[in-house]
Amino acid sequence: MSPASTPLQSSAVISEAVETLRNGGLVAFPTETVYGLGADAKNPEAIQKIFATKGRPANHPLIVHIAAPEQFDVPQVDWVSLLAPWARDIPEDALKLINTFWPGPLTLVFKKDKSVLSALTGGQDTVAIRAPAHPIAQALLRKFKGGVVAPSANRFGKVSPTSAADVRNEFEGMLDLMILEGGDCEVGIESTIIDFSSGDEAVLLRPGVITPKEIMAKTGVHVSLPGELHLQDKENPEGVNLPRVSGSLKAHYAPTTPLRLYAPARALDALSEYPDIKSRVAVAVWDSESSLVLEDHPSTDVSEIIVSSDPASFASKLYRTLRDLDQQGWDLVLFPEPPPGEEWDGVRDRLQRACFGSGPSSNSHDSN
């Protein structure tokens, strides 16, 4: 991210944020993926505040964010020592990923050090860690000198925020919440999560813009998909090992407006399944496709919105688009199904969950 495109916070503001964290307060801050709601990872009351503010169930673990060393270009960063206060049994393969992708949108899960608060890990014996790349996140973490837990800065089950204004909207009543301004998030969906806690085997827990294919190409490390593993046992036929990853609840990232996906070139079919003539429907269309001639559809008030057919650009705008559409009073939003291919997995995952939980009743959905 170029500093020119990022309104950098002054060091006085960063110092105030550090003070707030030290005093047990919450600070929302930008990362390259989404905005996080930060608290001191060593302060149990501050961690409690995070769960209460988000309305997040206590057994959903948080990610610890740490600073990358300033001399990151130096080849010999001793990551094992840097991670020692948090994690143990760090496999060689994990170090390869760290050296290649940190700081960046990749979270790794390890066996936790015994000093890590169990309120932070949702009672599990593992801990998730990432070093975010955003310069403001890095400035904050370096000055704070400790770990900062930071879930996405949204109410539980809602669309993650990708701008400071989104965070403000999420927590409207909380006037004392400090929010660091850092522009729009470049990646736009949450980090890829890979679990190394079972030894040398790397398992994908949450897809993101860093894909197993890219990891293989750059590090030679094979990352298994949960379906390839023992997660698929009899008691748990869907392979959903909940609630290790709250993003793995079916209804997560949910907008209030009903959202559906349509098969390639089937937008009109999807519309005719929704025949209320007074409906106002927004239909997202790939920028690579010519217009769908939706005017031919007589019964509904339909508008097209153009979405990028490049997976990274699509991801960077996805939550922004869903939030904006939610403000515009549509009765239904239709999105094209992402094409097959691993580079679309992160986006497909978020879109499918957003569909499942969408609609005005999503607040009271079981899994929220």
Q: Which residues of this protein are in contact with ligand TXA, per CB under 6 A?
A: 31, 33-34, 36, 60-63, 105, 107, 109, 121, 124, 126-128, 132, 150-152, 190-191, 193, 205, 244-247
Q: Count the Cβ atoms, other than its own, within 10 Å of residue 294.
A: 17
The residue (of 34 and 267) whose beta carbon lies closer to ligand TXA is: 34
The residue (of 36 and 182) whose beta carbon lies closer to ligand TXA is: 36
| Residue 338 binding target from Mg ion, ligand TXA, none, CB below 5 to 8 Å by type | none
Contact present, 218 and 192 (Cβ < 8 Å): no
Residue 109 phi, psi (nearest 5): -110, 130
| Residue 95 binding target from Mg ion, ligand TXA, none, CB below 5 to 8 Å by type | none
Binding residues for Mg ion, total number by CB under 5 A: 1
Nearest distance in Å: CB 189, ligand TXA: 8
> Is 368 near Mg ion (CB under 5 A)?
no
Nearest distance in Å: CB 353, ligand TXA: 11
The residue (of 236 and 303) whose beta carbon lies closer to ligand TXA is: 236
Nearest distance in Å: CB 233, Mg ion: 26
> Is 256 near Mg ion (CB under 5 A)?
no
| Residue 36 binding target from Mg ion, ligand TXA, none, CB below 5 to 8 Å by type | ligand TXA
The residue (of 209 and 267) whose beta carbon lies closer to ligand TXA is: 209
| Residue 194 binding target from Mg ion, ligand TXA, none, CB below 5 to 8 Å by type | none
| Residue 32 binding target from Mg ion, ligand TXA, none, CB below 5 to 8 Å by type | none
Nearest distance in Å: CB 319, Mg ion: 11
The residue (of 191 and 358) whose beta carbon lies closer to ligand TXA is: 191
The residue (of 34 and 98) whose beta carbon lies closer to ligand TXA is: 34
The residue (of 34 and 39) whose beta carbon lies closer to ligand TXA is: 34
Query: Per CB under 5 A, which of residues 122..181 are in contact with Mg ion?
Result: 152
Quote the CA–CA distance of 51 and 36 in Å, as a whole number. Answer: 13
User: Which residue's structure tokens are 């993926």?
Assistant: 33
Nearest distance in Å: CB 195, ligand TXA: 6
Query: Per CB under 5 A, which of residues 80..119 are in contact with Mg ion?
Result: none
Nearest distance in Å: CB 262, Mg ion: 26
Site residues, Mg ion (CB under 5 A)? 152
